[in-house]
Structure 1
């Protein structure tokens, strides 16, 4: 495991192409994705930004995203600080601490699940400085995230208003208190990070894919927690996790990230701040690798078999098809034939001695509320935003940031500080794959910040262009060069008019002349979170592939084009002919036309010409022009990929004409040359067109 992790981080740091979905943040505007790395290998020296031997004392502060709840194994034993704060072994900062190596002598890890900026401020002022480096997450709990997930997803039984209320409160906190609270933390770090030290502030990532409504279909996925003892939710339907609701969640994440980014940029420019700071933005990566919840490729299982890159921990929300549920129920109990709601209703009606009217339902629930108030423990816990286990470790400092005042903050804690089990609390937090990617982005941003400080080239943002010609790789498919040179301009024009905006890693492809010898596909594929479009680069790239790979070749006198690939940073352009062919060095063919009393019957075969249009604009057009338009019974077929039915040629055409046109139209090669080819000297009888017509 250790060797794999070391190798993975080495690839991250020394990769010649960007791993991140976007360029590292913190005032970075000088990246050139088409540049080449001038050095094959960087030596380990003082000016190497990937050498972390300078990290001897560092710290990780923040909330559960840094504590790593649910990722790896839990640190500590019950009633210790690690246990109270739900710190885990495979958080992104623990991954980085391992990567920094043996030079680290002091790693302070006070990050605590459930902490808000007011407590993270206390983490900051209690650090033992001076430190070379601090990394952190902070701000997510100021959005009352736990209450939000409770009201809108897990216990979404209180109605639309309760959900919208907490969404509005989250946005209010972003607009009113968040930036000042972040400023308080970053200002406090000025006293513990040594002058010239570094600070990496990692953001958050949107949880949800918003492609379709499968997550909001209760027959496919069921997100609300439903247990028989939760009497207050009997006979109720939870809110659906619709695209609209998921979009609201994602928007809040985007807004908190923007607030963090704004403050980080502000502090990066503040000359009174002695350390150097950057913002690590990994928010696009989930969409890039299909790692968000509610993906169309997922069904609600966890782990999700069709989403290897799922970034977050979640409940199993999959709902088995009804037929499967009925079969399973019968296999457990042949007499069971009612669902849980029907069973519950029957039990209630038996208890009250009659039909369950709305009035009796309310009376019954009031009775249960008084009787079961102490049993309904998870409801009250999920309502609370703060981590009760962490709360026993904290006392609010009078100078600390403003509290977010989330609904449920003042509710009693039935567990006396023990809090929710981590199996529940870890939902909506990064899993192992998510923490690996948080570590990757933080490492990339640290390398960038370090290279900027050392005034050296950032090795991570240096990208190698890769130009590949298919003929050189042994491919045998080719197409007419004139057609390709016309089509790439059409392709770039079409992309320019219709490319998707605000979409990462989009692609565009189009097939030209399908079903012909000249069939070829042109494509562009974006990667690494790219979304911008440059028409001039498109035109230049395709021209280089088509005309740079093939030309001035004595073995290819007709200048056929084999295509190729041009990778320019995050953009790959490809030209792909579709049919393997034997290289043609001259336009060839044969012709025969026979007199049939009322018409002339013609058969032409050819190679190297009329290869893209089924003869419509070439052979047929030229024949009609010569014979006067009386061409009937037209048939044209290509013999693709080794088909021998054309007698060794690439196509075969048959048609009828008025009688006695062979001499003036075909035997003299007039029609054939008008179509761009020839049959002179290679047809039946070694003439332009043999036969009796």
Structure 2
């Protein structure tokens, strides 16, 4: 059994981090990839219904932040050739999940249009020459434009081809979908909640922070559905040896999403509530 893919299968933040910080500079080791011992592939491998895990080899190669290109070039070639099942999550980083989180949720490093101009001018000077290759336009894209950009890419043939390439290389394995982050009833309870970081607020005192509005949550959930539709289509094109695992509905059934009705997401306690699956 093996697991490949991105942070969804690496289990970032779930349980205890594997490995040692001494391996942080080795990009494919446990610590550097933020693999955790409550990641779903780790739990599946240790499920007693599958027999004694000590009698099989488990290759845990998923790496947080991995693009489909990384899975194809850095993970799949390291798999032993006698796998009976491979758990796979891929595509989220290709459609710029990190940029969505930055622009629409946490705002760790975002710029307004005026700041983009100033930053580009500064990068042309010798003092800030180290920043000349920074993508300031992406940092200044804004939430709505970022969601539009991601939606366009999800529907592109480029994205479909990337998924096909990964599944073709990992043929005869198991593929899995993503779960939506926000409750589908779109309760108004979160409309006035912001998870924008203090960094953004300190640097942008006179600008509004992003809030978890019903419209933003609806659009982000819709993007997850669009990615899952592409993943399902790619799995079907790959043939019967690849199975698309539809687990998103169970996340909702057990109230495992953010902004469930009656939950105050403005409190730190909401992040540790038992049903939460993220």
Matched, 1:212 2:212: no
Does the 8 A contact of 1:74 with 1:87 survive in 2? yes
Corresponding residue to 2:42 among 94, 104, 110: 94
Q: State the alpha-carbon separation in 1 of the partners of residues 186 and 56 from structure 2.
A: 47
RMSD: 2.3
Does the 8 A contact of 2:9 with 2:62 survive in 1? yes
Q: Between Structure 1 and Structure 2, whose CA radius of gyration is higher?
A: 1
Q: What secondary structure does 1:135 align onto? A: strand
Q: Deviations over 1:229-281 (max 9, x none)?
A: 96422232212221011000000000000000011111125xxxxxx221111
Q: State the alpha-carbon separation in 2 of the partners of residues 242 and 161 from structure 1.
A: 19
Q: 1:305 to 1:238 in 2, by over 3 A?
A: closer
Matched, 1:295 2:260: yes
Matched, 1:119 2:70: yes
Q: State the alpha-carbon separation in 1 of the partners of residues 81 and 215 from structure 2.
A: 46
Matched, 1:168 2:148: yes
Does the 8 A contact of 2:189 with 2:262 survive in 1? no
What's the CA shift for 1:302?
4.3
Q: What secondary structure does 1:304 align onto? A: helix
Q: Deviations over 1:208-237 (max 9, x none)?
A: 1243322121xxx3311124x964222322
What's the CA shift for 1:158?
4.7
Q: State the alpha-carbon separation in 2 of the partners of residues 223 and 216 from structure 1.
A: 12
Matched, 1:188 2:140: no
Q: Report which structure shows greater RCO (CA 8 Å, sep ≥6).
A: 2
Normalising by structure 2, what TM-score? 0.79
Q: State the alpha-carbon separation in 1 of the partners of residues 211 and 44 from structure 2.
A: 38
Q: State the alpha-carbon separation in 1 of the partners of residues 208 and 252 from structure 2.
A: 30
Q: State the alpha-carbon separation in 1 of the partners of residues 14 and 63 from structure 2.
A: 14
5 Å matches for 1:162-561?
Answer: 162-176=142-156, 177-190=158-171, 198-209=172-183, 210-217=185-192, 221-227=193-199, 231-268=202-239, 276-300=241-265, 301-304=267-270, 308-312=274-278
Q: State the alpha-carbon separation in 1 of the partners of residues 38 and 273 from structure 2.
A: 20
Q: Deviations over 1:587-641 (max 9, x none)?
A: xxxxxxxxxxxxxxxxxxxxxxxxxxxxxxxxxxxxxxxxxxxxxxxxxxxxxxx
Does the 8 A contact of 1:142 with 1:170 survive in 2? no
Q: 1:260 to 1:240 in 2, by over 3 A?
A: same
Hey, which of these two has a bigger chunk of helix by percent?
A: 2
Q: What secondary structure does 2:248 align onto? A: coil
Q: What secondary structure does 2:87 align onto? A: strand
Partner of 1:16 in structure 2?
A: none
Does the 8 A contact of 1:291 with 1:307 survive in 2? no
Partner of 2:20 in structure 1?
A: 77
Normalising by structure 1, what TM-score? 0.33
Q: What secondary structure does 1:60 align onto? A: strand
Total equivalences in the alignment: 238
Does the 8 A contact of 2:186 with 2:217 survive in 1? no
Q: Deviations over 1:81-101 (max 9, x none)?
A: 111100111110110111133
Partner of 1:59 in structure 2?
A: 2
Q: State the alpha-carbon separation in 1 of the partners of residues 21 and 272 from structure 2.
A: 36
Matched, 1:146 2:98: yes
Does the 8 A contact of 1:297 with 1:306 survive in 2? no
Does the 8 A contact of 1:125 with 1:189 survive in 2? no
Q: State the alpha-carbon separation in 1 of the partners of residues 22 and 79 from structure 2.
A: 22
Does the 8 A contact of 2:5 with 2:88 survive in 1? yes
Q: State the alpha-carbon separation in 2 of the partners of residues 204 and 182 from structure 1.
A: 14
Q: Deviations over 1:133-171 (max 9, x none)?
A: 111111111111111111111118656961122212212
Does the 8 A contact of 1:297 with 1:307 survive in 2? no
| Structure 2 unpaired stretches of 5+ | 24-28, 113-139
Q: What secondary structure does 1:142 align onto? A: coil
Q: State the alpha-carbon separation in 1 of the partners of residues 222 and 84 from structure 2.
A: 34
Q: State the alpha-carbon separation in 1 of the partners of residues 100 and 271 from structure 2.
A: 28
Q: State the alpha-carbon separation in 1 of the partners of residues 154 and 76 from structure 2.
A: 21
Q: 1:62 to 1:306 in 2, by over 3 A?
A: closer
Q: What secondary structure does 1:83 align onto? A: coil
Q: Deviations over 1:327-381 (max 9, x none)?
A: xxxxxxxxxxxxxxxxxxxxxxxxxxxxxxxxxxxxxxxxxxxxxxxxxxxxxxx
